[in-house]
Chains A and B, each alone.
Chain A
Amino acid sequence: MTEEQNAALGKQDFEALVRSLLPDLYRYALWLSRDQAVAEDVVQEALLRAWRSADSLREPEAAKSWLLTIVRRENARWFQRQPARAMDVDVVAGMDEILQTPAVDTDLLDMRRAIARLPRDFREPLVMQVLLGLKAEEIGEVMELKSGAVLTRLYRARKQLREALRKSATGRVRMIDG
């Protein structure tokens, strides 16, 4: 096989890999940044970096973690370059239109808002586990944490979401009753 064929194969493999993961990479970036335009930009830049260093990926089975790590670092770079962001509550309000699209029922919207309000330390491992199907060890590698710490964050994330959902449901019942 010639060097050109190798390069072509690498490009095709990279494109196939990215196409299979792109929607979830974007969603991961969106849940990290909670800003649609930033998420698109971060993913774009991350993919460019990934393509330029594609030869550093030695184990195909580690491709998902490899791409997530690059997206995560690019997101961090993006925010390092920006002035301090608006208050968290404003960020969540700014994201609200995305959370409401397409038309979703009340429970789902409440859950999306509750996830958006989770501290990032809890939100991020939850997204990696539920959306991207990563195990605690894999999440730990991306986040540079021990598995035990990841599990604690996952536990707290679910606990907070259950409580938030109960509060929302109670509030709705009160509104109906009142």
Chain B
Amino acid sequence: MNCLDFRRRWSTEPGREDPELATHMARCGSCSAFAVEMESVDHLISEALRLPVPQSMQDFSVETLERGGRSRKQVTVRWVAMAASIMAAVVVSYGAWRVASAPEDIGAELVAHVHHEPAALLPGAEPVAAEQIEYVLRRTGARLEDSLGTVTYIKNCPFRNQRVAHIVIQGSAGPVTLLLLPHVDVDAAMPFEEEGYKGTIVPIGSGSVAIIGGEDEPLAPVEELVSSAVAWQI
């Protein structure tokens, strides 16, 4: 086996247990170093492939399977919503820069974003770990000075060319979506109603937080909670 054969074999089916590869490694320092580097890359590949698995994909029974579990409709609805939200984003992007002067635009854009991720509002979601909350906030320029209560969803989302924290907490009438917008400056609270949702954008320091709930959700307690809990990283 020459060095070229060794490197090609190691790059396709690596392993010291192959006697031919092991023999070549023992007598070729350069290929041995190559193998060590590739082992390190392969270790990283292996670790990288092990993405977190949701609870629904960790347990299994035939009964649950036959009862239907997740329905395809959920995903199809999500894709339709995604297509609709892309259309909505295209439409509203015309005035996307006019934040403070056009509350109706940003309201529509925010609701389109909520539609974009309907899975975030599914009932029965488990609370998100504090570590994950902290991680997303850190990446989006926000921090918490107080608890937001039970967070059932948090994601780092694109919004107006920025990465923002998309959070779902449990309000008194159902799930309430928060979008933490450190780059959107508003002078005063900007309430809006859109497609059966009720929302407001409240100023927090140099940024703002969008609060979006159902029609029956009283938003004042959430505004109070958000105002005392959310701050921006310096």
Q: How far is the CB of B109 from chain A (nearest CB, A)?
A: 18
* B78: Cβ under 8 A from any A Cβ: yes
Contact mask A86-127 → B, CB, 8 Å, 1/0? Answer: 100000010011111111000110011001000000000011
Q: By the criterion CB–CB under 8 Å, are A126 and B45 in contact? A: yes
A to B CB contacts below 8 Å, 17 in the list: A15-B60, A15-B61, A18-B60, A22-B57, A22-B59, A27-B50, A36-B54, A40-B70, A43-B57, A96-B156, A98-B51, A108-B44, A112-B51, A126-B45, A130-B46, A131-B50, A154-B13
Query: How far apart sit A112 and B59, CA to CA, in the bound complex (Å)?
Result: 25
Query: Which A residues contact B (CB, under 8 angstroms)?
Result: 11, 14-15, 18-19, 22-23, 25-27, 30-31, 36-38, 40-41, 43-45, 47-48, 51, 82-83, 86, 93, 96-103, 107-108, 111-112, 115, 126-127, 129-131, 135-136, 151-152, 154-155, 158-159, 161-162, 165
On whether the beta carbons of B8 and A155 are closer than 8 Å, the reply is yes
Q: B5 to nearest A CB, angstroms?
A: 12
Asked if A40 and B60 make an inter-chain contact with CB atoms under 8 angstroms apart, the answer reads no
B173 at the interface (CB under 8 A from A): no
B54 to chain A, nearest CB (A): 7
Interface majority SS (helix, strand, loop, mixed), chain B: helix
Residue of A nearest to B139 (CB): A100
